[in-house]
Amino acid sequence: MKRWWQTRTLRFRLALWYALGGTLLLAGFSAIIYGYVVDRMARPLDHQLRQDLTTVGQRLRVSPDGLHITWDGHEAQGGAEWNWSDPWFELWDEHGRLLRRLWPLNEAHLEKPPFAPPNGRETLSVFYVAGDLRLRVLSVPYQVPGHSSAWTLRVMRIHVPAADALRALLLIISLALPIVVVMLVLGGYWITRRWLKPLDDVVRQADRITADDLDRRLTVANPNDEIGRLAGVFNVTLDRLESSFRALDRFVADASHELRTPLTTLRSVGEVGLRRSRTVEEYREIIGSMLEEAGRLQLLTERLLELAKAEGGKATVRRQRFCLDENVAACVEELSILAENKRQKIVLETMQCAVETDPVLFHQALQNLIDNAIKYSPPEALITVSIREVGEAFTVAVADQGPGIAEENRDVIMDRFVRTDGACERGRGGFGLGLALTRAYMRILGGTLEYQPNKPQGSRFVLFLPRT
């Protein structure tokens, strides 16, 4: 049953639930109305029977021997002689024998007179005495002086008008309910089909979107309903997919370019070396050039693997508590030799502080920033590395005196293979991967990397690292 239900369309299931729910509600409502009408029609009649019972108790008298039954002091005679305005009643003894029936009806014209009531308890029932005549009767115990066992007194009233009205009401409900149910089914299907039509449009539009035309977007008819919000989220997802595909295309193109250059150099150097016989020193020089390009190719491959591993969330993170100022000082000391070669000076502005994160990944991230600052700063420049406390985080900033980054490049400077005009010199050995890799490391550590222009000249990159 569950598998069959799950194979049905959402439109079918909504229409069926709508129809079933509406049918149950209407059936329950009809039953409540019918019961209410029955109760309201029967209650006045029952009240009149109680009044008749009181009247009979006041006007009826039975002799101790049970042979004389008087009504207002006169011998009570039933049949056609009985007054229509007086209460109709019967008197039964303890053995279930009818002693007197006082009503104005002719029993010869009745199909089925009322049978004996149960003795000793009060009951309320209905008798069909003829095809078009129904009586509502109230039976109660009746104590006769001189008798130990109680007789039964039963008062009666015509119930036919109420029965006709109830039968008419039941007929109306029986005829109207199936019609309303059919209308509910058809209306539910029409409503669900109309309301889910935008969903069909979304499905058709989404089905036509392929990897070749990710610039297409879904039409949002109503951004406030669920289908509109779903289409909006789908469009946002398409934006991300399109951006990812474009970034992937750029990455493949840039990686192919970066890999092609050292490979072409390797091949060219080898071809030149084989054109003629050379001395040992010349071969050493050729092999050295080839090894240099091979090393560059190996370094690029390693950086690409590191970046893919970091951005894919597969980098191994070993969090531990360590002194941040000592880690930063060690990183500065490691790279100070590179700065001395360019007669640059690295100034460290530190404070004693501790964090709980991966010291190796943070060290690599900071090393990338300081290495970039040394590469792109002119000789005898000043590089500042500072630690600050900001709320529940620490910032480690690296400021240089290089050419800086043009405003139009600041939004993409941390993407793969992005290098400014001044950074495109091959002699600097950069691939445009350092900032992308640093940002990926910081994302893994729960921090961020931000760029700020350094006044009056240069760049300032800031690592935001939470305490834990």
Q: Which residues contact 116 (CB under 8 A, 6 or more apart)?
A: 92, 96, 97, 98
pLDDT in the model for residue 307 = 64
| Long-range contacts, 114-118 (Cβ 8 Å, 24+) | 114/90, 114/154, 114/156, 116/92, 117/92, 117/152, 117/154, 118/152
Q: Tokens at residue 88, please?
A: 């109709």
The label of the residue with tokens 């290098």 reads 419
**Cα maximum dimension of the chain:** 159
pLDDT in the model for residue 347 = 93
The label of the residue with tokens 């050379």 reads 278
Cβ(376)–Cβ(457) below 8 Å: no
Cβ(448)–Cβ(464) below 8 Å: yes
- Number of Cβ atoms within 10 Å of the Cβ of 268: 13
Q: Tokens at residue 336, please?
A: 């100070």
Query: What is the dotted CATH code of the domain comprising 226-311?
Result: 1.10.287.130
Amino acid at 313: G
Cα 225 versus chain centre, distance: 14
- Number of Cβ atoms within 10 Å of the Cβ of 432: 19
pLDDT in the model for residue 315 = 64
- φ, ψ for residue 93 (rounded to 5)? -85, -175
Q: Which fold has domain 320-466?
A: Heat Shock Protein 90 (3.30.565)
Q: Which among 357, 383, 355 has a CA at the least distance from the CA of 369?
A: 383
Q: Which among 362, 391, 323, 368 has a CA at the least distance from the CA of 461?
A: 368
Q: How many residues does the chain have?
A: 468
Cβ(395)–Cβ(463) below 8 Å: yes
| Long-range contacts, 244-250 (Cβ 8 Å, 24+) | 245/211, 245/214, 247/415, 247/416, 250/415, 250/416, 250/417
Rounded to the nearest 10 degrees, how much is the dihedral formed by the CA atoms of 101, 102, 107, 110?
A: -90
Cβ(192)–Cβ(15) below 8 Å: yes
Could you tell me the residue ranges of all domains in the chain?
7-168, 226-311, 320-466
- What whole-number distance in Å separates Cα of residue 37 and Cα of residue 356? 77
List 137's β-bridge partners, or say none: 125, 156
Q: Tokens at residue 158, please?
A: 């015509």
Query: Can you list the residues of the chain whose pLDDT is less than 50?
Result: 422-429
- Is the bond leading into 117 cis (omega within 30 degrees of zero)? no
Residues 276-300 as b or e (16 or more Cβ within 10 Å = b): eeeeeeeeeebeebbeebeebbeeb
Cβ(381)–Cβ(388) below 8 Å: no
105 burial (CB, 10 Å; 0-12 / 13-18 / 19+) is: buried
- Would the CA dihedral through 259, 263, 266, 272 be positive or negative? negative
pLDDT tens-digit series, residues 41-90: 656 778 888 898 999 888 888 888 777 888 888 887 766 567 888 898 99
- φ, ψ for residue 385 (rounded to 5)? -120, 120
Cβ(87)–Cβ(103) below 8 Å: no
Q: Tokens at residue 432, please?
A: 């445009």
The tally of CA atoms less than 13 A away on the side-chain side of residue 289 is 16
pTM: 0.47
- φ, ψ for residue 75 (rounded to 5)? -60, 125
pLDDT in the model for residue 313 = 57
Q: Which residues contact 217 (CB under 8 A, 6 or more apart)?
A: 235, 238
Q: Tokens at residue 24, please?
A: 């149950």
